[in-house]
Amino acid sequence: MDETLLKGAFQEIRSAQRILVISHIRPDGDAVGSLIGLGLSLQDLNKEVQMVLPDGIPAIFRHLPGSDQIQKQATGNFDLTLVVDCSDLTRTGEVLIGKPVPDMNLDHHPTNTKFARYNLVDKTAVATAEMLAEYLPQFGFPISSQVAEALLFGMITDTLGFRTNNMTPKAMKIAAKLMEAGGDLPGLYQKGLLNRSFEAARYWGAGLSNLERDGRIIWTSLFLEDRRSVGYPGRDDADLINFLSTIDETDVVIIFVEQGDGLVKVSWRSQPAYDVSQIALFFDGGGHSAAAGASIKGDLKSIQANVIATTKTMLGFM
Ligand code: 5GP
Ligand code: MN
């Protein structure tokens, strides 16, 4: 990270009073943890902070202290707009439409489009929360136990419990500092990665019975009807993809989730030798080499055929 850029950005944060912090649609643990961690740290310096998620806060993240402050809309004027964990501006939904270019873009996705005035993008960071856990203390912003909880949660969830292949010794050291500052690693691990609802387990059942394989690619689909019949409240895959990624002799896993608004959410996971972020980018999505996603308009079956064929071609599987 360019030290001059970083210093300039944090000086501006220090001088601002009314600050908007925002993260992405369909928020994951890193989006929520980074948003709350940064928001609470700024509040500890007596700044007026609004924390916004365009889709609101999902029920599974409401255990995090500070999550009750998250709104779906920004109200009023701000000195500074900080966007965390978003690789491009469309990921902020409609909150920033018609607003000036955001002041800061703090992110770890290699596909980041550098859409802000200050682009703090570190693709070697395992989570946006890791970047914040490094920068906040470096520039004199406090890490209370609540801030540590939020940031450690972001790191744990984005690394699936420190086991993704982008893990680094630096990330382990930063996580240890967050534990020292009050982050409850076993508790956060349990809540972020292990606990699931009965409905989610039945929803997995639907996904598992639709599972298909062609060589070293496996895929499944989750339909609106699957969610309706088991009473699963989200529009996501209930993290089924992380389970599918543990299946032997598989290089790429793809999940198709019907969204009900003519869109299909596609997620890819791959073994280290394969970069699926470029395939997601081709479909106007983005992400990391080993974990990427896109939302594609159309009918699920034709999207499925197109995505599988494109994935095979782009990865040289035929
Ligand atoms: P997932 O497929 O689990 O939602 O996301 C995997 C990774 O891809 C995450 O880093 C996520 O931020 C990114 N990602 C997922 N969907 C999209 C998308 O539609 N656009 C972009 N730019 N990134 C996405
Ligand atoms: Mn995220």
pLDDT confidence of residue 76: 92
pLDDT at 318: 73
What strand order describes the sheet that includes 291-297? 212-214, 217-222, 252-258, 263-270, 291-297, 286-287
Contact 261, 297 (CB under 8 A): no
Do 188 and 275 fall into the same domain?
no
Q: Are residues 28 and 156 in the same domain?
A: yes
Do 8 and 111 fall within a single domain? yes
Question: From atom 13 of ligand 1, which residue's Cα is the shortest distance away?
Answer: 287
Q: Which of 193, 216, 250 is the last residue of a domain?
A: 193
Report the DSSP beta bridge partners of residue 264. 258, 296
User: Which of 143, 175, 193 is the endpoint of a domain?
Assistant: 193
At residue 98, the pLDDT reads 87
Residue 176 sits in the same domain as residue 260: no
21 shares its domain with 130: yes
Amino acid at residue number 208? L
How far is the centre of ligand 2, averaged over its atoms, from the C-alpha of 122 (Å)? 14
Domain count, the chain: 2
> Going residue by residue through the chain (318 aa), what tens digit of pLDDT does each one get?
899 999 999 999 999 999 999 999 999 999 999 999 999 999 999 999 999 999 999 999 999 999 999 999 999 999 999 999 999 999 999 999 889 999 999 999 999 999 999 999 999 999 999 999 999 999 999 999 999 999 999 999 999 999 999 999 999 999 999 999 999 999 999 999 999 999 999 999 999 999 999 999 999 999 999 999 999 998 999 999 999 999 999 999 999 999 998 999 999 999 999 999 999 999 999 999 999 999 999 999 999 999 999 999 999 997
Note whether 105 and 177 are same-domain residues.
yes
Query: Is 192 in contact with 156 (CB distance < 8 Å)?
Result: yes
Tell me the pairing of strands 212-214 and 217-222: antiparallel
Asked if 180 and 247 sit in the same domain, the reply is: no
Same-domain check for residues 14 and 155: yes
Residue of 23, 24, 26, 28 to mutate, ligand 1, most atoms within 8 A of C-beta: 28
CATH number of the domain encompassing residue 107? 3.90.1640.10
Residues 182 and 209 reside in one and the same domain: no
Cα separation, 5 vs 139, in Å, equals 13
Tokens of 175: 């996580």
Same-domain status, 161 and 65: yes
Arithmetic mean of pLDDT over the chain: 96
Do 165 and 267 fall within a single domain? no
DSSP per-residue string spanning 63-123: TSTTGGG-BSS--S--SEEEEES-SSGGGGTTTTTTSPPPSEEEE--TT----SSEEEE-T
Mutation choice for ligand 1 from 26, 32, 91, 252, CB with most ligand atoms inside 8 A: 91
Report pTM.
Answer: 0.93
Based on the domain organization, do 179 and 300 belong to the same domain? no
Domain assignment of residue 241, given as a range: 198-315
What phi, psi does 57 have (nearest 5°)? -100, 120
- How many angstroms separate the CA atoms of 132 and 151, rounded? 8
**Residue 213 has what pLDDT?**
97
Answer whether 214's CB lies under 8 Å from 308's CB: yes
* Structural domain ending residue among the three candidates 141, 175, 193: 193
Least Cα distance to 84 among 45, 28, 149, 142 occurs for 28
**CATH code of residue 231:** 3.10.310.30
Does residue 277 have its Cβ closer than 6 Å to ligand 1? no
pLDDT tens-digit series, residues 250-294? 999 999 999 998 999 999 999 999 999 999 999 999 999 999 999
